[in-house]
Amino acid sequence: MKVFISSDMEGTAGVVDWSQCLAGQPDYDYYRGLLQAEVNAAIEGAQAAGAREFLVNDSHSKMQNLRPDTLAGNARYLSGSHKPMYMMEGLDASFDAIFFVSYHGSMSTSSPLSHTYNPRAIAEVSLNGTVVGESGINSLVALAYGVPVVLVTGDDITADEATRVNPEAHTAVVKTAISRFAADSMHPAQARDLIRTRAEAAISALADARPPRITLPATLSVMFRNPDLAEMATWITGVRRSGNTTTEIIEDDPLRLFRKFVSVVLLTRGIAE
Ligand SMILES: [Zn+2]
């Protein structure tokens, strides 16, 4: 049994500030250790339920936050940028389950360090009318390969958001959001225990899991922080202006939809403040 793990960092118990999760900052090494322990807890829980193969796709910042030799489960490690499929690089139909570890909520929520791919460019994204964060957008790739998202770890808002698209997913809520820069976190040791338990339950219940609930053709609406960004986005084929700061993409192929969204992210990055 093969598990694909997309690991971010903002959803780790104790993390509430950018300085804690950006390489080069004094506290970064400490917090990357907490992240690594949560990733390993997810792997160990899955192993307890019979999973044997793991691919960890490091999806945070420069995507090189973990230490390969201390990954549990002899996991393979997909790291570094640029990755065309971004937070979902490496997924294919050979996987049985997907974990989103240490995820955060969307830009328009009070989830700690909330953003949707690019906080300087994107104000809000909705999928078929539902506001989604990275978990919902990344679920397009899960749908394309028919692999269920079975575990989401992070704060309470993130768990809520992820289960709108993946109703059967197990969640490990390791902190309660107070604001975009504050949270009430479990003790890291308890957070790991919870993640381990929920990962084991998620793999044990795999027979009941289903791919993400996204009706096709799907409409992805992106609200930008200013109209210049929306205008540039329409230069990509298939991206249509739907308002002063909003654009819309309608696609029947979830992979093509995700790719267009990533193209929008990369294009607008160049002019974001
Ligand atoms: Zn991140």
**Cα(207) to centroid of ligand 1, in Å?**
30
Write down the pLDDT at residue 272: 76
Q: Which amino acid is at 169?
A: A
User: pLDDT tens-digit profile of 140-184?
Assistant: 999 999 999 999 999 999 999 999 999 999 999 999 999 999 999
CA of 144 to the centre of ligand 1 (A): 23
Cα 202 to averaged position of ligand 1 atoms, centre (Å):
23
Residues near ion ligand 1 (CB < 5 Å) are: 8-9, 60
What gap in Å lies between CA 67 and CA 65, rounded to an integer?
7
Tokens of 235: 């230069």
What is the CA(67)–ligand 1 centre distance, in A? Answer: 17
Q: Which of 60, 82, 104, 115 is catalytic?
A: 115
Distance 63 CA to ligand 1 centre (A): 9
Exposed, middle or buried: residue 67 (CB in 10 Å: 0-12, 13-18, 19+)? exposed
pLDDT of residue 183: 98
Residue 167: per-residue pLDDT: 96
How far is it, in rounded angstroms, from Cα 21 to Cα 24? 9
76: left (phi over 0), alpha (psi -120 to 50) or beta: beta
Continuous H helices in 73-153: 134-145
Helix or strand or coil: residue 204?
A: helix
CA distance 49 to 252: 35
Residue 271: predicted pLDDT: 82
Provide the pLDDT for residue 74: 98
Q: Which residue has the higher pLDDT, 273 or 120?
A: 120
Q: What are the beta bridge partners of residue 11?
A: none
Residues 106-122, mean pLDDT to the nearest whole number: 95
- pLDDT tens by residue, 177-204: 999 999 999 999 999 999 999 999 999 9
Residues 214-243 have pLDDT tens digits of: 999 999 999 999 999 999 999 999 999 999
For 190, other C-beta atoms within 10 Å of its C-beta total 12
How do residues 76-101 score in pLDDT, each as one tens digit?
Answer: 999 998 899 999 999 999 999 999 99
How many whole angstroms from 226 Cα to the centroid of ligand 1?
A: 23
Q: What is the mean pLDDT of residues 26-41?
A: 98
**Tokens encoding 229:** 């960004």
pTM for the model stands at 0.97
pLDDT(273) > 80: no
Cα–Cα distance for residue pair 58/6, rounded to 1 Å: 6
Ligand 1 centre distance from Cα of residue 9 (Å): 5
User: Looking at residue 205, what is its pLDDT?
Assistant: 98
Burial of 170 (0-12, 13-18, 19+ CB in 10 A): buried
Confidence of residue 106 (pLDDT cuts 50, 70, 90): very high
Percentages of the chain per state (helix, strand, coil), in multiples of 5? 35, 25, 40
Q: Smallest Cα–Cα separation from 22: which of 90, 98, 119?
A: 119
Q: How far is residue 104's CA from residue 146's CA, in Å, rounded to a whole number?
A: 23
Indicate the pLDDT class of residue 10, thresholds 50, 70 and 90. very high
Question: 154 CA to middle of ligand 1, Å?
Answer: 12
Q: How far is the CA of 61 from the centre of ligand 1 (A)?
A: 6
**CA-CA distance, 255 to 218, in Å (whole number)?**
11
What is residue 15's predicted lDDT score, i.e. its pLDDT? 98
pLDDT of residue 269: 86
The mean pLDDT value of the chain amounts to 97
In the beta sheet, which residues pair with residue 164? none
Active site includes 115?
yes
Percentage of the chain beyond pLDDT 70 is: 100
Quote the Cα angle for 92-126-87, to 5°.
30
